[in-house]
Amino acid sequence: MYDINKVREDFPILQREIYGKPLVYLDNGATTQKPRQVVEAMVDEYYNVNANVHRGVHFLSQQATDLHEASRETVRRFIHARSTSEILFTRGTTESINLLAFTFGEAFVRQGDEILVSTMEHHSNIVPWQMMCERKGATLKVIPMTDNGELQMEAYEELLTERTRLVCCTHVSNVLGTINPVADIIRIAHQHGVPVLIDGAQSVPHMPVDVQVLDCDFFAFSGHKIYGPTGVGVLYGKESWLEKLPPYQGGGEMIKTVKFEKTTYNELPYKFEAGTPDYVATHGLAVALDYVTALGMENIFAHEQQLTLYAMQQMQQIEGMRIFGPADHHDAVISFLVGNIHHLDMGTLLDRLGIAVRTGHHCAEPLMHRLGIEGTVRASFALYNTTDEVDALVAGIRRVQKMF
Ligand code: PMP
Contact 199 CB / ligand 1 (< 6 Å): yes
Residue 222: the pLDDT is: 99
Ligand 1: centre distance to CA 315 (Å): 26
Contact yes or no for 203/172 (Cβ under 8 A)? yes
pTM: 0.98
The total of other beta-carbon atoms located within 10 Å of residue 264's CB is: 9
Contact 203 CB / ligand 1 (< 6 Å): no
Ligand 1: centre distance to CA 122 (Å): 7
Contact 94 CB / ligand 1 (< 6 Å): yes
Q: Which atom of ligand 1 is nearest to the CA of 362?
A: 8
Q: Which atom of ligand 1 is nearest to the CA of 173?
A: 3
Q: Which of 146, 144, 135, 148 lies closest to 116, judged by CA?
A: 144
Answer yes or no: 216 catalytic: no
How buried is residue 13: exposed, middle or buried, by Cβ count under 10 Å (0-12/13-18/19+)?
exposed
Span 167-181, average pLDDT? 98
Task: Kindly tell me the number of DSSP H helices and DSSP E strands found in the chain.
Answer: 14, 17
- Exposure class string for 35-70: b at 16+ Cβ within 10 A, else e: bebbeebbeebeeebebebbeeeeeebebbbebbee
Q: Which amino acid is it at 387?
A: T
Contacts of 117 (CB under 8 A, 6+ apart): 125, 126, 129, 140, 141, 142, 143, 167, 168, 169
Could you report the per-residue pLDDT of 266-277, keeping only the tens digit for each? 999 999 999 999
Distance separating alpha carbons of residues 288 and 226, to the nearest angstrom? 7
Span 318-329, average pLDDT? 95
Could you report the per-residue pLDDT of 330-371, keeping only the tens digit for each? 999 999 999 999 999 999 999 999 999 999 999 999 999 999
Half-sphere exposure of 401 (CA within 13 A, CB side): 15
Could you report the per-residue pLDDT of 190-244, keeping only the tens digit for each? 999 999 999 999 999 999 999 999 999 999 999 999 999 999 999 999 999 999 9
Contact yes or no for 253/59 (Cβ under 8 A)? no
Span 98-122, average pLDDT? 98
Protein residue with least CA distance to atom 7, ligand 1: 30
Distance separating alpha carbons of residues 281 and 205, to the nearest angstrom? 17
Q: Is 56 a residue whose pLDDT tops 90?
A: no
Distance separating alpha carbons of residues 393 and 350, to the nearest angstrom? 8
Q: Is 55 a residue whose pLDDT tops 90?
A: no
Q: Is 32 a residue whose pLDDT tops 90?
A: yes
Ligand 1: centre distance to CA 220 (Å): 9
Full set of structural domains in the chain with CATH: 4-28+296-403 (3.90.1150.10), 40-293 (3.40.640.10)
